[in-house]
Structure 1
Amino acid sequence: MQYGITLLTTGTGSNPRILAELAQEAEERGWDGVFLWDCIDVEKTLGPSGREACDPWIALAAIAMRTERIRLGPMVTPLSRRRPWKVARETVTLDHLSGGRLILAVGLGFIDDGGYVKVGEELESKVRAQLLDEALAILDGLWSGQPFSFQGEHYHVEEMTFLPTPVQRPSIPVWVVGAWPRMKSMRRVLAWDGVIPALQGDDGSFFAKMTPADLEAMQTFLGEQRTRTTPFDIVMEGETSGSDLERARSIVRPLAEAGLTWWLEAVYGTPETQGGVEGMRARIRQGPPRL
């Protein structure tokens, strides 16, 4: 079981220098990963503080230079509004800068993040899913370092050899948001290195809370369907109290027993972290709810 933190890139998290300082502190306090929101303008979600944001990729570069061990990446990058060849260049560069510590988490995208509705990007979920699949195929091909071309419905790549290759071999790990129990979404997950499960609730939305029983059912499906033998992560984000370790462990332990491999602490928006940067720093210093 590994433990990471998720930091906002908006409001109090909009200063990349501060994010790098917090990441360095997280490494010193025994956390295993630090992940940043990837959004443009989330005023609709967070209010006026959502207008102020920093670019996660530049902030991750700063984090890479301030840390040595901790894994890092976006949480999550909406590939459907990103040019995959540019993402390929950014990810390889960051993988080299960090010495092979990048994890790329991707999904369809949150249409209220300021990078869709306000700027005229594609909103139809079916099309965004197609864009995601094609972008992942292009990333995989470009990262290989071999001659690669691609002809899809949305993207076209004339033959190119993309160098250098990532530091990590066989490739940069990719975590994909999977809408459980929607089979089409979960089949996408099978081809990659990890899943960030989004549980479909009774109202049809994907904001329901995953229980250990849900994780066990998903783990069974993955074990039966996945043919790759490479390591596979199951990733969840949530909140625990750093001042009550036993209570924190009581939240994480059943999930770990059900197959969870990464717990990401949402270091924002909780009573302990309402104090802005110092509140986030205080929670980071309390350390992970390690079992």
Structure 2
Amino acid sequence: MRIGLQIPSFTFSGGPERIGPEFGRMAREADQGGLHSLWVMDHFFQITYVGPADEPMLEGYSALSYAAGITERITLGTMVTGVTYRHPGVLVKTVTTLDVLSGGRAWLGIGAAWNDEESRGLGIAFPPTAERFERLEETLRITKQMWAGDEKPFEGEHYTLDRPLNSPQPVRRPHPPILIGGTGEKKTLRFVAKYADACNIFDSDELPHKLNVLREHCEREGRDYAEIEKTSLTSLQGEKPSADQAVETIGRLAEQGVDHVIFSQMTGQDLAGTLAEALSQTEKITPVGR
């Protein structure tokens, strides 16, 4: 069982000058505690679920690059990048750079985007849902092509790349894992089966059903369901959750078929040490289907 930490809030006592030291401390503690992954959101405004829009929010890949420089083992990703935020060629270069400089520790977390408030606020194009999914699929195709070293022109409905050169290539081979976030049964989970190395599905009563839908898509695509890493984003209640609470959550999700549990740290919590303690108690937990 793999355990990850997502840090979605950068509201720390002491103001902006404390963001770097506090985020850095948490990243180091997660790394030294043996956690598998560290995640930040790829948002420009804080999201309503966490706090008001004007709360401090860091640009995701800059934050991960900082974390890469002060950690040694932990893998690093966004949970998740909205496809409309960056041109696909630039996104592939950005994730490749993170992977090279971190020694092969990057993820590409991606989804169809949903936060129209920040897009309107910053003047980022936010097309209708159907078009965002078209752009997501083209981006996934471009990503696979660039990471395969294929420089032939790409011409899609929304993107044209005359020479999708990617030099250097990622350190991690064959490429950084592609994680698609979301639970849409007709498109998102089909894209997971067709293009991705991992999915992310929220911890909810629907999780077993969503995994069954993914399994069905894998059968139709001729994909081995076991090849896909099933991750789930969850949270713990209370200002100071215990390791026992984390272990209970991990065990419950493992029984549902999750391979990698990612805990989202709510404002006021400090989870890295708690999750490191829980990790020592979960080494023998094997997800269903593994």
TM-score scaled by structure 2? Answer: 0.82
What is aligned with 2:158?
Answer: 154
The CA distance in 1 between the partners of 2:275 and 2:253, in whole Å, is 21
Aligned-pair CA distance for 1:216 = 5.3
Structure 1 residues 224 and 260, CA gap change in structure 2 (3 angstroms): same
Separation in structure 1 between the aligned mates of residue 151 and residue 204 of structure 2, nearest angstrom:
43
Q: Give unpaired runs (5+ residues) of structure 2.
A: 286-290
State the secondary structure of the residue aligned to 1:115. helix
Q: 1:267: which partner in 2?
A: 265
Q: Against the structure 1 CA distance between its residues 124 and 234, is the aligned structure 2 distance closer, same or farther, given a 3 Å change threshold?
A: same
The DSSP-based 3-state class of the residue aligned with 1:81 is: coil
Q: Aligned in 2, Cα 1:216/1:197: closer, same or farther, shift over 3 Å?
A: closer
Contact 2:201 2:232 in 1 (8 A): yes
Matched residue, 1:38: 42
Q: State the match for 1:233 in structure 2.
A: 229
- The residue that corresponds to 1:214 in the other structure is 209
Matched, 1:5 2:5: yes
CA deviation after TM superposition for structure 1 residue 123, in Å: 3.7
Q: Output one character per residue of 1:83-127: Cα deviation in whole Å (capped at 9) or x when no partner.
A: 111111111111011110111110011224613465251241111
CA distance in 2, matches of 1:244, 1:280: 9
The CA deviation string for residues 26-78 of structure 1, in whole angstroms up to 9 with x for no partner, is: 11122111000111113655554644222111111111111111111111111
Q: CA–CA distance in 2 between the matches of 1:220 and 1:142?
A: 28
The correspondence of residues 55-204 of structure 1 with structure 2, limited to 5 A, is 55-112=59-116, 114-116=118-120, 118-180=122-184, 182-190=185-193, 191-197=195-201
Mapped to 2, the partners of 1:124 and 1:75 lie a distance apart of 21
| Number of residue-to-residue matches in the alignment | 274
Q: For the structure 1 residues 126 and 255, does the alpha-carbon distance in structure 2 shift closer, same or farther, using more than 3 Å as the test? A: same
Matched AA of 1:239: S
Whole-angstrom CA distance in 2 between matches of 1:133 and 1:210: 28
- Of the structure 1 ranges 14-23 and 44-53, higher mean CA displacement relative to structure 2 is found in 44-53
Structure 1 residue runs of 5 or longer lacking an equivalent are 199-207
RMSD: 2.8
Deviations 1:206-227 (A, max 9, x none): xx82456435524642553453
Residue 140 of structure 1 deviates from its aligned partner by 1.6
TM-aligned CA distance change 1:178 to 1:4, over 3 Å: same
One-letter amino acid of the structure 1 residue matched with residue 4 of structure 2: G
Q: Distance in 2 between matches of 1:74 and 1:120?
A: 19
- Change in Cα spacing, 1:159 to 1:49, as seen in structure 2 (3 Å) is closer
SS, match of residue 172 in structure 1: coil
The question of whether the paired residues in 2 share the 8 Å contact of 1:176 and 1:192 is answered with yes
Distance 1:43 1:94, change over 3 A: closer
CA distance in 2, matches of 1:211, 1:179: 9
For 1:188 and 1:238, how far apart are their aligned partners in 2? Answer: 22
Say if 1:61 and 1:94, in contact at 8 Å, map to a contact too.
yes
Is the Cα contact below 8 Å between 1:215 and 1:255 reproduced in 2? no
